[in-house]
């Protein structure tokens, strides 16, 4: 069965790959087989997603040797221990260098499976099959792979690109509402950092997106992937521009870590973190107060938090000190010059940061 789908390409020379977006892609064996070419495949997933989609994927890959590993579900399992279990599964199945990993799931599964693929036998192919909105608009694309450390998010990982991303939008029908909304936070991020017209479009399509209407959903995923593709195509390893994709994350990662992984979802923490970045950008006289207010209003309409938990300014500052954008011992922050234009800034006055932390973290 051939389904109609959208395609966005990541242009990275010999590491280029397509992102396929559309309904029913997991039910299309010929599409799956044309993008998963290895004979031996390890499907990495979790227990929740395995019961929903593993049989479909296994059927589509019929004729290959398919072994699967279902990890426990949750951000708290995005650990070196789970990563080691993936490597063990590859070894137990005697997978060679021409085998491939298929990551079936959200960002947690995708980040861990990608890191295992990056390091097993110094690198084997992997394909992302994202099943959350967040993974379809962000984490499956761009090659950031990682596991968490108890003291910091995504502290151990690698840049390693997949061979293909297959985003079957039909899988989003079973995604719990809270997870779906968390994915929308990263969609709003793209408007804020890169595309004011997309931000306007989001304001006009809140209800359509919340009801998961096909056309709105596909447009949001496609535009998000296009923006990420443009940014990653310019700066694959975050030497400069790519850092804008981190808007709200320095604050958000501190929230996730302080609250205990999994208690605040990544997208929720990013939403609250983007409000902190917007407040700081306004305090510096860059982002207009009206656009700061539009940001808070849009996130609120999507049911996302706009106020951080009170983790304490000192604790927040200490956790933020481990951010990967620290350079020369100085914390660089992604701030908004205006709505639709982000910048990575190191020369902000410290008092403005401290005031933002005090106001939001307490």
Ligand X SMILES: O=C(O)C(=O)C[C@@H](O)[C@H](O)[C@H](O)COP(=O)(O)O
Binding residues (CB under 6 A) for ligand X: these are: 138, 142, 144, 153-154, 186, 238, 242, 245-246, 249, 324
Q: Which does 52 bind (CB under 5 to 8 A by kind): ligand NAD, ligand X, none?
A: ligand NAD
Ligand-binding site membership of 266 (annotated): yes
Please tell me the distance from the alpha carbon of residue 275 to that of residue 67, in angstroms, as a whole number.
43
Q: What is the four-CA torsion angle of 177, 183, 184, 189, rounded to 10 degrees?
A: 160
Residue, CB closest to ligand NAD: 107
203 catalytic? Reply is no
111 binds ligand NAD (CB under 6 A): yes
The set of residues, in sequence order, having a beta carbon less than 8 Å from that of 352 and lying 6+ positions away, is: 280, 283, 284
With CB under 6 A as the rule, give the number of residues binding ligand NAD.
30
Residue 228 annotated as catalytic: yes
CA separation for the pair 292, 131 (Å, rounded): 31
Q: How many CB atoms lie within 10 A of CB 170?
A: 17
Answer for which of 109, 118, 129, 232 binds ligand NAD (CB under 6 A) is: 109
φ/ψ of residue 213, rounded to 5: -60, 135
Active site residue 249: yes
Residues 6+ apart with CB under 8 A from 191: 198, 199, 200, 201, 202, 339, 340
Is residue 360 a known part of a binding site? no
Residue 324: name its binding partner from ligand X, ligand NAD, none (Cβ under 5 to 8 Å by kind).
ligand X
Terminal-residue alpha carbon distance, the chain: 55
Annotate each residue in 125-164 with x if it binds ligand NAD (CB under 6 A) or - if it does not, as one string.
------xx-xx--xx--x-x--------xx----------
- The reply to whether 219 belongs to the active site is no
The answer on whether 125 is annotated among ligand-binding residues is no
Is 250 known as a binding-site position? Answer: no
Residues in the chain: 362
Q: Which does 226 bind (CB under 5 to 8 A by kind): ligand X, ligand NAD, none?
A: none
Between 134 and 342, CB nearer to ligand NAD: 134
Per DSSP, the three-state class of 342 is strand
Catalytic residues: 122, 144, 186, 228, 238, 242, 246, 249, 253, 266
């Amino acid at each position: 069965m051939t389904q109609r789908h959208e395609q966005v390409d990541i242009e990275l020379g010999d590491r280029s790959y397509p992102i396929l977006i559309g309904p029913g892609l997991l039910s299309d064996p010929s599409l799956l087989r044309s993008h998963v070419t290895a004979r031996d495949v390890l499907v990495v997933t979790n227990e929740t997603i395995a019961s929903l989609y593993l049989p479909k994927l296994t059927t589509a890959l019929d004729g290959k040797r398919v072994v699967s590993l279902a990890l426990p579900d949750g951000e708290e399992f995005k650990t070196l221990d789970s990563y080691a279990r993936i490597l063990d599964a590859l070894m137990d199945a005697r997978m060679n260098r021409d085998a491939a990993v298929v990551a079936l799931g959200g960002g947690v599964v995708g980040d861990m499976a990608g890191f295992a693929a990056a390091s097993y036998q110094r690198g084997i192919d992997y394909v992302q099959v994202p099943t959350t909105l967040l993974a379809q608009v962000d984490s499956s694309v761009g090659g950031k792979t990682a596991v968490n450390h108890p003291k910091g998010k995504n502290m151990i990982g690698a840049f390693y690109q997949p061979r293909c991303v297959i985003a079957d939008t039909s899988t989003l029908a079973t995604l719990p509402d809270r997870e779906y909304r968390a994915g929308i936070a990263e969609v709003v991020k793209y408007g804020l950092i890169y595309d004011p017209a997309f931000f306007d479009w989001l304001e006009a399509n809140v209800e359509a997106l919340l009801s998961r209407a096909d056309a709105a959903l596909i447009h949001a995923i496609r535009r998000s992937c296009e923006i990420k593709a443009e940014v990653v195509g310019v700066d694959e390893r975050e030497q400069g521009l790519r850092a804008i994709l981190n808007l709200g994350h320095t604050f958000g990662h501190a929230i996730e870590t302080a609250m205990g992984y999994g208690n605040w979802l990544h997208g929720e923490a990013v939403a609250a973190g983007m409000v902190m970045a917007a407040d700081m950008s306004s305090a510096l006289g860059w982002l207009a107060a009206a656009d700061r207010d539009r940001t808070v209003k849009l996130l609120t309409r999507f049911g996302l938090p706009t106020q951080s938990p009170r983790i304490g300014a000192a604790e927040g500052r200490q956790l933020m000190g481990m951010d990967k954008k620290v350079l020369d011992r100085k914390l660089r922050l992604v701030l908004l010059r205006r709505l639709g234009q982000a910048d990575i800034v190191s020369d902000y006055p410290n008092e403005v940061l401290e005031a933002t932390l005090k106001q939001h973290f307490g």
